[in-house]
Amino acid sequence: MYAELAVDNTSLNTDRLFTYSVPSDMEFYMEVGKRVLVPFGRGNKLLEGLVVNLKRDLDSGLDADKLKPIQYVVDREPIMTLEMVELLGWMRERYLAKYTEVIKTIVPNGITMKAKKVVKVEMAIDETIVDPELAAYLNSKKRMALENLKRKFGEKNIQKDINRLCQMGCIEIEESVFQQVKKQYEKHVERRFKPEDADCIAETLSTRAVKQVEIVRLLSSRESISKKELLQAVNTSDSTIKSLEKKGLVETVEREVDRNPVGREVAHYSKIELNEAQRMVYDEIESLKHTKHLIHGVTGSGKTEVYLQLIESALERGEESIVLVPEIALTPQTLDRFMGRFGDRVAIYHSKLSNGERYDEWRKMRDGRAKVAIGTRSAVFAPFRNLGLIIMDEEHEQSYKSSMNPKYSTLEVAEKRCELEGARLVLGSATPSVETYYRAESGEFKLLEMNLRANENPLPNINLIDMREELYNGNKSIFSRELYMSMLEKLERREQIILFLNSRGFSKFVSCRSCGHVIKCSRCDISMTYHAEENRLVCHYCGESRKMVTECPECGSRYVKHMGLGTQKVEAEVRKHFPKAAVERMDLDTTGRKHSHEEILTRMKNREIDILIGTQMISKGLDFPDVTLVGVIIADTSLNIPDYKAPERTFQLMTQVAGRAGRSELEGRVVIQTYEPDHYSIQTAKDHDYMSFYSQEIMVRKLFRYPPFCELVDITVYGREESSVCKIASEVASRVKDSVSKSETLRNVEVLGPNPALIYRIKDRYRMKILIKARREDMSEIKTTLGALLSLNEKYAKEQVRVSIDINPSSII
């Protein structure tokens, strides 16, 4: 028997399957989806591999005698089902990722095997043959890791002794394997000499050991450095470090990079009778006429109860369910409903769990103790064996697209998984993404409409205020008269108010009135935001901050002014105009501390807050019955981003924010202030008219050829050296253009760029973009070219330029 393995190795060159022979006594345990340990490479280093395929016959070109045997089977139970192994291969191709990247996404990066060399003392060692200290130590311990021994005595000092003892049979070295909850590691090179000896050591080193001297000098000023950094700084390969290590001057160690945990508890949430609309949707999905569904339901139409009952019915059939929610929606409020109904049959799965917690939840699912998984996008990989249902709530949310390799779309993966495992897919949204709705219209998804709010309250009334007119009428404040009066009225009635603005800080940028100079971040091509509370300027892209200036750094003028609006300024204005109201601000700056997020929401719930001011953060999933007024200070911020999704985002944002008002029998009102009241995404949001928005937007998409009328591939080339970034970006572009023009079939493929990214420089890295528009059926042919581009990452590693490819990115800026 032979096994094809994906070996745990991050190099692109080794990102393929390797064939090993299965010793006959191991055949019984061998299964696809289990991990094994195999000797790999010249050094036969023990590596972990995942069994992807088992076969009796060997591919031609492989010589059976030359195959190495599998050494050890790691898992008792497979960590992936056959279907998941197939999904693994599919994801690797679809998103141009490596096996290891995909495996680490699918299984919790908690479990892995480590092999260590262990020294076993077979007979007492005579202190006269070797270093007496070493002998004494060995005799006292009997068994120890070779690693520790090297650390204690220095590798160079003991190497010969160890070899001799081995030959004499006094000790034996064996490889011992143990499971370890893997933390994130980074290799560091540590100094093993005294800093004052640096000069002395540099002289002793060979005159040819230029690189080694450089490293010694570098390390004389610091105790350790990450290996990556060191290689870049000295511009050398790791054989230099190896040489130094042999001399005992440095040592490489793995250092842990750690994370943070979460924890909570719940009350029972009982079943509710479905209303007519809910019942129809439920019956339709249960009827099994279709496998993929889209519930288009207004906020408050009671989608969650439908989800709960679908899960219940799946449970009765013995099937498992996955509930996906966007990052921000995974609040205690949401969790309570699911855990309150299904108790400990629910597993929670998201990226903020600690390794231990994640591993526990994962095992709960794989071993069948949990039947319902709820979590963010990674929960789509829940290790169930009898999956019946995947629910994806707020389907349109951006957080469903991963920004790390593999840059997968949770929707695509969910679809693929449902296909492979015969499960049903249910998408839900009040504002479906244009792509999804298009597919529903064309019959790929069964479209289910829920137009009524479950509590039968009307949707809130939305007033659009043209801020140009306000200004014309002499109102220079950030509140229109309409909003101001409404706030007064609601405060008098002791009802709650939410004010929304899409940018934090006090003012968006600071500029000099006499020379026009705008203060920019030193590392990014972006203006700095003024934060009044700390009286500092902050860059929202890299976090750099400095003291607010009193005079222009260019011309010295004292007329520096902050322009534009942030939540801090809104807060200040609110306090000024409504001094008696209890005001609270909720944005990235006020929720920095752990649980501060929940604290604010609890105070809101307890009505200790009259006016809540916030960013995106408050637009989703919050359900406060006493909020009757929502004010959008400026709606245009998200509209003016040069991205084809900007109108869609704006419509979704407005609709969601508006949905925060009038969740109870109290009448809700929404005031949207804007400078572009005629824009279709704002107009249609005002009328709660998704259909009208959709029909206009789909025309724009068709006209300019954007999804769903094409697939997009975003290639970003980025690095510290502007000239190399540009050079490599144009190399990338011309390679792609070449292969497109040479092909007969790729007539419809457009290659745009290279163009500088909207924000050309972030954290001192220059960014160039190439955009490809292609038909879906052309993708596989393009992939060959794209795959080759990724090897540029290795070719240009020295230049520190990277090429990153994103299939259907969530934005193209």
Partner DNA sequence: AGCACGCCGACT
Partner DNA sequence: GTCGGCGTGCTC
Helix H, strand E, coil C: the string for 678-741 is: CCHHHHHHHCCCHHHHHHHHHHHHHHCCCCCCCEEEEEEEEECCHHHHHHHHHHHHHHHHHHHH
C-alpha dihedral (661, 662, 667, 668), degrees to nearest 10 = 10
The answer to whether 210 contacts DNA (rule: CB under 7 A) is yes
- By beta-carbon proximity to DNA, the closer residue of 58 and 515 is 58
CA angle 449, 450, 453 (to 5 degrees): 160
The answer to whether 67 contacts DNA (rule: CB under 7 A) is yes
CB of 210 to DNA, least distance (A): 4
Contact status, residue 290 vs residue 423, Cβ threshold 8 Å:
no
Size of the site for DNA (CB under 7 A): 34
- By beta-carbon proximity to DNA, the closer residue of 213 and 387 is 213
- Among the listed ranges 15-23, 372-380, 467-475, 543-551, the one in contact with DNA (CB under 7 A) is 15-23
- Among the listed ranges 3-11, 27-35, 355-363, 638-646, the one in contact with DNA (CB under 7 A) is 3-11
Within 8 A by CB and 6+ apart from 280, the residues are 448
Helices and strands (DSSP H and E) totals, the chain: 25, 33
Which of the 8 DSSP states describes residue 84? Answer: H
Contact status, residue 424 vs residue 392, Cβ threshold 8 Å:
no
The answer to whether 804 contacts DNA (rule: CB under 7 A) is no
CB of 237 to DNA, least distance (A): 4
Q: Which of 128-164 are b and which e, b meaning 16 or more Cβ less than 10 Å from the residue's Cβ?
A: eebeeebbebbeeeeebebeebbeebebeebeebbee
CB of 780 to DNA, least distance (A): 23
The answer to whether 237 contacts DNA (rule: CB under 7 A) is yes
- Among the listed ranges 13-21, 25-33, 379-387, 401-409, the one in contact with DNA (CB under 7 A) is 13-21
What is the rounded distance in angstroms from the CA atom of residue 496 to the CA atom of residue 399?
29
CB of 247 to DNA, least distance (A): 7
The answer to whether 638 contacts DNA (rule: CB under 7 A) is no
CB of 720 to DNA, least distance (A): 18
The answer to whether 220 contacts DNA (rule: CB under 7 A) is no
Determine whether the annotation assigns residue 710 to a binding site: no
Pairing of β 45-55 and β 35-40: antiparallel
Which of the 8 DSSP states describes residue 519? Answer: -
CB of 4 to DNA, least distance (A): 8
- Among the listed ranges 235-243, 432-440, 711-719, 723-731, the one in contact with DNA (CB under 7 A) is 235-243
Query: Going residue by residue from 18 to 57, which x/- string records binding to DNA, judged by CB under 7 A?
Result: xxx------------------xxxxx-x------------
Closest listed residue to residue 244, CA positions, set 160, 184, 156: 156
- By beta-carbon proximity to DNA, the closer residue of 237 and 602 is 237
- By beta-carbon proximity to DNA, the closer residue of 70 and 294 is 70
- By beta-carbon proximity to DNA, the closer residue of 41 and 195 is 41
- By beta-carbon proximity to DNA, the closer residue of 209 and 532 is 209
DSSP H helices in 247-391 = 276-286, 303-316, 332-342, 355-366
- By beta-carbon proximity to DNA, the closer residue of 242 and 705 is 242
Phi and psi torsions of 703, nearest 5°: -60, -45
C-alpha dihedral (376, 377, 378, 379), degrees to nearest 10 = 60
CB of 353 to DNA, least distance (A): 26
**Interface pick for DNA out of 56, 208, 547, 580 (rule CB under 7 A):** 208
The answer to whether 140 contacts DNA (rule: CB under 7 A) is no
Determine whether the annotation assigns residue 418 to a binding site: no
Residues 427-486 that bind DNA (CB under 7 A): none
Query: Going residue by residue from 746 to 785, which x/- string records binding to DNA, judged by CB under 7 A?
Result: ----------------------------------------
CB of 43 to DNA, least distance (A): 3
DSSP 134-190: HHHHHHHHSEEEHHHHHHHH-HHHHHHHHHHHHHHTSEEEEEEEEEEEPPEEEEEEE
Determine whether the annotation assigns residue 166 to a binding site: no
Partners of 297 in the beta sheet? Answer: 450
- By beta-carbon proximity to DNA, the closer residue of 10 and 451 is 10
Determine whether the annotation assigns residue 170 to a binding site: no
The answer to whether 275 contacts DNA (rule: CB under 7 A) is no
- By beta-carbon proximity to DNA, the closer residue of 100 and 410 is 100
The answer to whether 233 contacts DNA (rule: CB under 7 A) is no
What is the rounded distance in angstroms from the CA atom of residue 663 to the CA atom of residue 460?
9
The answer to whether 236 contacts DNA (rule: CB under 7 A) is yes
Closest listed residue to residue 352, CA positions, set 263, 255, 413: 263
What is the rounded distance in angstroms from the CA atom of residue 525 to the CA atom of residue 545?
14
Phi and psi torsions of 768, nearest 5°: -115, 145
CB of 262 to DNA, least distance (A): 31
Determine whether the annotation assigns residue 539 to a binding site: yes
Alpha-carbon torsion 78, 82, 84, 90, what sign? positive
- Among the listed ranges 65-73, 299-307, 338-346, 425-433, the one in contact with DNA (CB under 7 A) is 65-73
Which of the 8 DSSP states describes residue 256? Answer: E
CB of 46 to DNA, least distance (A): 10
Closest listed residue to residue 84, CA positions, set 430, 487, 384, 466: 384
Enter the tokens of residue 3: 């096994």
- By beta-carbon proximity to DNA, the closer residue of 199 and 687 is 199
Determine whether the annotation assigns residue 524 to a binding site: yes
**Interface pick for DNA out of 60, 140, 167, 239 (rule CB under 7 A):** 239
- By beta-carbon proximity to DNA, the closer residue of 15 and 397 is 15
Other beta carbons within 10 Å of 411: 23
- 632 sits in which H/E element: strand 627-632
Contact status, residue 352 vs residue 260, Cβ threshold 8 Å:
yes
- By beta-carbon proximity to DNA, the closer residue of 18 and 509 is 18
CB of 211 to DNA, least distance (A): 4
The answer to whether 117 contacts DNA (rule: CB under 7 A) is no
The answer to whether 577 contacts DNA (rule: CB under 7 A) is no
Closest listed residue to residue 383, CA positions, set 180, 113, 108: 108
Cis peptide before 326 (omega within 30 of 0): no
Closest listed residue to residue 397, CA positions, set 430, 423, 373: 430
Residues 243-262 that bind DNA (CB under 7 A): 243
Residues 656-685 that bind DNA (CB under 7 A): none
- By beta-carbon proximity to DNA, the closer residue of 208 and 776 is 208
**Interface pick for DNA out of 62, 272, 691, 699 (rule CB under 7 A):** 62
The answer to whether 207 contacts DNA (rule: CB under 7 A) is yes
Phi and psi torsions of 185, nearest 5°: -115, 150
Residues 513-542 that bind DNA (CB under 7 A): none
CB of 187 to DNA, least distance (A): 6
CB of 312 to DNA, least distance (A): 47
Alpha-carbon distance values, 734 to 41, 403, 567, 728, 773 (Å): 36, 26, 45, 10, 15
Query: Going residue by residue from 187 to 206, which x/- string records binding to DNA, judged by CB under 7 A?
Result: x-----------------xx
CA atoms within 13 A on the CB side of 774: 23
What is the rounded distance in angstroms from the CA atom of residue 50 to the CA atom of residue 74?
10
- By beta-carbon proximity to DNA, the closer residue of 9 and 429 is 9
- Binding-site residues for Zn(2+): 512, 515, 521, 524, 539, 542, 552, 555
- Binding-site residues: 512, 515, 521, 524, 539, 542, 552, 555
Catalog residues that contact DNA under the rule CB under 7 A. 9-11, 13-14, 18-20, 39-43, 45, 62, 66-68, 187, 205-212, 236-240, 242-243
